[in-house]
Structure 1
């Protein structure tokens, strides 16, 4: 028998090689990480992530995350993006967060990073993305930096009537704007007078605002979408806050452990302390008036694994206002309650998913005795929502598909009233319930050469539940959205967009009550859902430290509603739908904005010239008339000057046309029932609103991690009397056949100096 000779060395080598490469193969894995800007602690999107000496790689998505499959620990990842230093990191050393450093180079001019982000990169026109760093550059308003105010300084956007909540976008009313806070619906976005927004900017990480070419994931509103995200998990615990003459606030972003953090933020005003210093009873700070606000946010962030996160947000706002001047007994209180949780999962290879469950409650109660009536009323708007989407963020395209369900509960009004002590019988409205179910999808991609496109479609089913006033109704909406961007040169782009949107609720206002006393009614067969068709054409130009953007737009809103007999009659009506008239309005305009940095001076200016006209068969003999929110001229300007390393100067100027309104003329007694007689629709206009704010901020020398500033703001520097609310008093009694109505005007804040101490540690 021949025994074969065994080469022990070869066998050993073979086994070693097999074991080695087997271990290498087994060591290959999927990795996920987030890329952040070291200076701003903000996410960096579109970062190229490549495995060195290979063609394998990906890009970070809009949340800064990237995922790579089949990576070994010894592989070297190369992270690069223009404006940042290229970084190399071994896959085995990769952390959950990777920081990039901004590339510093000697330039004659510093590239401007202004209040509105670059429009060149975005396919959708009239869309603004703002980071925490942008918010820091805001001017001070009464010692605070207000992120919602930032939107009001952009073209095509205005504050609602003084004292009312929300913003007006391209002729639409406040109900036509969708606001989301951590993916949760926020119904009321302002505290009293719009002076403070309901969102404390200290806890805001980013804001995305759109007024054209909406993402298909958004629906239910016609004019705009504001998507607010709160602060993300910090590397270390951080606190910031301020103490001022009018309010105080404190925000803490607390790192509990490696995978969990807690964000807490609170704010409270104490305007009542300063009432003795103001003798003018027409001012909101006058005697026999009292007002306070507070808001509170709590959010828990948890990294469940390398690929999944869970965040839960609770948010509360509350306002309380009393006015006992001029024989009034006017009281208001209102507030939001938001609760929601969002689960994110990164599957890999650019695929991620997101699921949100949320609850949003809004309540308002108000009472008054301006007319022969004494009344009190309540209204509420509640939404329970579930939303899920998948996102494929690839090098050549971005695709999003998903579904959404909202269960809505609306109580338009519950009113009790009397006339000189005698009860006034009112059939109160039942709660309206309706369901919305939607599927949506959109894709952004390069068409060819310099042409890029974003296309989307949203399909929605709307069903009401039957009650005494509303039958079981069902509507279906088909909502396409499309946008194109053509890059003319490296620094110019031409954009065009079209979208069709549906809204299933209609807003009613107690117009003589110039406060957020608005309520909503649902769509029926007689009062169909509102639809908008909007076209927008824009041009963007950027060079060095200059940004110039312009846009033309036209929008038509069909099934737009107004109230035939006046808002207070409507408040006391037995059936809201008896007074509703349906028509349409057209809005068109030109918008332009300019941003420029010259050495230590940064300036922004915007102008909007627009017209909004409405038409109803039963109003103004069927002819067009100026809509309620037609404000032809809107101008804003902001300037910031760094006088030194310690001292910053700021200025803000606003001018906007007054809002139209319908003035009651007298009260006629018909069959022992008082009927208010109004002038022609929107025949009157409030005075133009304008004011100048000046500020100076001094930064103290840092002490370790402790930083502080002292800010002086001169609000309404030249003391212009801007209209806050219009009320009406009567001369006569209900025994007369005719009662004269007298108009009274109250004004917003006068010249008001404030001092705020801001700190962080």
Structure 2
């Protein structure tokens, strides 16, 4: 399709969709004889909103869940309605409401937690999976994340998500997520509604999310709602706490790797609050005195000095202001970075019979690898009426990556020479959107909205600069430096429709126009979900979605979330497009404490990108598109998820049977091959148990089929041509060994097995709770390979040699102790 034609078509799509939105909003008029009960559910002690709290009307057999701002709206066809409001870890509130007219009811729930204790009563476990049409949705609270065993004592959001069915990590110990056979870029990761483009610290071993500041994490794996877009497969929505509106306080942790601190309190009691949390590694600070002492000794003896730096940090800040009962204003900021580098100084020495002394001339070598995210959001929410809730959001997201090396030879001497290599990349987003939640009556809950986002891509700029003083030569070269601008215009409409007591439908349409340069890519993406009640507490469910992703992530394939993975626009390559369908069963026990889902899914992915054979982000190029090839992928699987909560025990079991493959004409001779992180069988089991009032224990077990890898299958001795004639073919010094590789990802590593354990002892020092936490990562000391390499093995009798595969395990059994405190 020509650019001009696609542009004309695309700009016709959005007006059509906006007309649908207007029609949906118009249907929100009051229904005769029906009132609407609406309000906000909060924590009684802190005033913070509770996301995902359940508001259930037992006499009507229906309910609603609070949205991301704690708001709910429930049509009530009776004069008086009895409501039961519940949330995990809180006392249930029962109240009767006069619903002859629209009425607002704000509910404050009392927490049932002390010294880590969480009491869960029957039917207080949140919205049951069979009670909603949405499929593939799993939510974890901040308490869930904090209670799990942790690598190096760091509670981690993404590692918690990896324990869910259909989700797996990359390399051993890393925090990346691959959902239902998709690559990391196919999951939209949001922090308080702002996209995060790199979600890891320490080369992927920890996520950027500080667990103390997290309120709720929600993963939607399948046909995600129409209000989300721009990604092919799934959505991970991370919401931060608002901050305590009633009293000043804080909490923190001192661990092996890093320390973190959170401080919160009211700016105006009951009206405005703030929250600030920070985390930083301190290994560099602890090592600094030893490094300085070693360098002083080396300098005194005229030897080389080395000054390394290695640390990461992140900072969250949030202000929450309630100017009226109907309005809330939020301002949230996040900043985080990883800094790795070194500088070595090697002085020239003058030597004679008496010895050697350093001179003023020296060689200096340095290098660094830095990356980080900076995000911000301003949000104004307003309860327009008991039936309508509005949220206006303005966002910014900036991700940068910078790696460089510097060499100065003969600095301070007569003939210095210098060279510098620097590689930079990044992506900057500026966006705004408006969202409306409408209780339309007649069994309809409507969400409509739209927005725009401007993108600035820096796919990668490689600069080479240098100077040779003696020759009078200067070098200044820049490759691949062009920036690309892009824009997204989106609009959506959703309708959660209770057709009858037994049938619920989720209908949605997401319309988008993505433009960059001379290219325009429009899309209309329908979303469908349904739940049919087979009997009480058992539902048959189905869902389907068509999605489009206008940006790509070029990955190194290392699976450790390297910052060198490049975000690039669609441009002439075109966007990724996908189709996914799912069907299954969902149910719960009569008490509501046990819930389960069984889902089968199929995904089709088109327009995937990968580096050509031998190419990488450091390959010199004028255009990144010269380095990539395009292809397709499929994924299909079956997932089982069983969750159980009681007053002292929270546990879940997940199992995934899946197959994922890829096909690129320019890779693997055009033959289809397994995805690098295809895992046929995956089992995860988690338990968090309160032994007694001051003691908690936890365990997490993971089993998975080994990763698919590409291995050498043969080697032969090759020769190089020399001398300019056929007779120039020689052996000896010009002989090298050539390696022949087998099918791409055609071999399997041994199965992955890991058991993590945790124990926490809570105690009081004064009025505030404190805790000591012991975490044991890989308690059975399983040698799970972080990477693989080959080695040569020689037979001592025959002298023959053969290649063998060697797995390098990074994490043995690893116990850590951390101290948690509050004030």
Aligned residue in 1 for 2:501: 449
* Separation in 2, partners of 1:59, 1:542: 17
**Secondary structure of the residue that 1:47 maps to in structure 2?**
strand
Q: Is the aligned partner of 1:693 residue 2:745? A: no
Residue number in structure 2 paired with 1:148: 158
Shift of 1:630: 1.9
Which is further off, 215-224 or 560-569? 560-569
Distance 1:702 1:569, change over 3 A: closer
Residues in 1 aligned to 2:570 and 2:748: alpha-carbon distance in whole angstroms? 30
Cα deviation for residue 142 of structure 1 reads 2.6
Q: Take 2:584 and 2:765, find their aligned partners in 1: how far apart are those partners?
A: 44
Aligned 1:138-537 pairs, distance under 5 A:
138-162=148-172, 166-234=176-244, 235-258=246-269, 259-272=271-284, 291-321=310-340, 331-366=368-403, 376-394=422-440, 396-416=443-463, 427-465=479-517, 472-511=518-557, 515-525=562-572, 527-537=573-583
- Alignment pair present for 1:718 and 2:726: no
CA distance in 1, matches of 2:37, 2:539: 36
What's the counterpart of residue 19 of structure 1? none
Superposed displacement of residue 554, structure 1: 0.4
CA distance in 1, matches of 2:256, 2:429: 36
- Correspondent of 2:744 among 668, 672, 681: 681
What does residue 353 of structure 2 align with? none
The 10-residue stretch of structure 1 (307-316 or 117-126) with the greater mean CA deviation from structure 2: 117-126
Contact kept? 1:166, 1:188, Cα under 8 Å: no
TM-score normalised by length of structure 2: 0.73
What is the rounded CA distance, in whole Å, between the counterparts of 2:520 and 2:719 in structure 1? 40
- Which shows bigger deviation, 599-608 or 616-625? 599-608
Instruction: Evaluate the alpha carbon distance shift between residue 32 and residue 102 of structure 1 in structure 2; reply closer, same or farther with a 3 A threshold.
Output: same
Q: Is the Cα–Cα contact under 8 Å of residues 312 and 338 in structure 2 kept in the other structure?
A: yes
Q: 8 Å contact 1:551–1:591 — kept in the other structure?
A: yes
The one of 640, 661, 673 equivalent to 2:688 is: 640
Tell me the equivalent position of 1:34: 40
Kept after mapping to 1: 8 A contact 2:577/2:605? yes
Pairs within 5 Å for 1:742-753: 747-753=809-815
Change (3 A) 1:87 1:208: same
* Distance in 2 of aligned mates of 1:603 and 1:645: 18
Give the CA deviation at 1:538: 2.3
Give the secondary structure class of the aligned counterpart of 1:567: coil
Distance 1:636 1:554 in 2: 22
Structure 1: gaps (5+ residues): 1-29, 70-75, 277-286, 466-471, 730-740
Residue 484 of structure 1: SS of its match in structure 2? strand
Query: Do the aligned partners of residues 137 and 210 (structure 1) sit closer, same or farther apart at CA in structure 2, a change above 3 Å counting?
Result: same
CA contact (8 A) 2:148 2:700 kept: no
Higher relative contact order (CA 8 A, sep 6+): 2
CA contact (8 A) 1:533 1:557 kept: yes
Rounded Cα–Cα distance in structure 2 between residues aligned with 1:574 and 1:321: 28
DSSP-derived class of the 1:148 partner: helix
- TM-aligned CA deviation for residue 305 of structure 1: 2.1
Contact 1:165–1:174 under 8 Å retained in 2 = no
> Structure 2 residue aligned with 1:656, among 701, 704, 708?
704
Shift of 1:324: 11
- Return the alpha-carbon distance in structure 1 between the equivalents of residues 256 and 705 of structure 2: 31
Q: Distance in 1 between matches of 2:495 and 2:249?
A: 38
Change (3 A) 1:725 1:96: farther
> 635, 639, 646: which is aligned to 1:591?
639
| CA distance in structure 1 between the aligned counterparts of 2:82 and 2:311, rounded to whole angstroms | 50
Instruction: Decide whether aligned partners of structure 1 residues 602 and 96 sit closer, same or farther in structure 2, where only a CA change above 3 A counts.
Output: closer
Deviates more, 1:677-686 or 1:565-574: 677-686
Instruction: Report the CA distance between 1:482 and its aligned residue.
Output: 0.3
Q: CA RMSD in A?
A: 4.4
* 8 Å Cα contact 1:66/1:350 also seen in 2: no
- In 2, Cα distance between equivalents of 1:221 and 1:45: 27
- 1:280 maps to what in 2? none
1:33-79 Cα offsets, whole Å, 9 max, x none, are 523355896537453799xxxx9x9978434336899xxxxxx9977
**Structure 2: how far apart are the matches of 1:570 and 1:183?**
33
The structure-2 alpha-carbon separation of the partners of 1:632 and 1:715, relative to structure 1 and needing over 3 Å to count, comes to: same
Distance of 2:657 and 2:556 partners within structure 1: 28
Question: For 1:643, what is the secondary structure of its paired residue?
Answer: strand
Task: Give the drift of 1:748.
Answer: 3.0
Aligned with residue 820 of structure 2, among 745, 758, 761:
758
Contact 2:64/2:74 (<8 A) preserved: no
| CA pair 582-601 structure 1, distance change in 2 beyond 3 A | same
Question: Contact 2:454/2:487 (CA < 8 Å) preserved in 1?
Answer: yes
Give 3-state SS (helix, strand or coil) of 2:744's partner: coil
- TM-score using structure 1 length: 0.79
CA drift at 1:557: 0.3
User: Structure 1 393/748 Cα, relative in aligned 2: closer, same or farther at 3 Å?
Assistant: farther
- C-alpha distance in 2 between matches for 1:698 and 1:163: 25
Q: Are 1:163 and 1:516, in contact at CA under 8 Å, matched by a contact in 2?
A: no
User: Cα gap change, 1:718/1:512 in structure 2, threshold over 3 Å: closer, same or farther?
Assistant: same
Output the CA distance in 2 between the equivalents of 1:356 and 1:482.
Answer: 26
Secondary structure of the equivalent of 2:626? helix
Structure 2 residue ranges without an equivalent (≥5): 1-35, 87-91, 114-118, 289-305, 345-364, 407-418, 725-735, 792-802
Q: Secondary structure at the match of 1:343?
A: strand
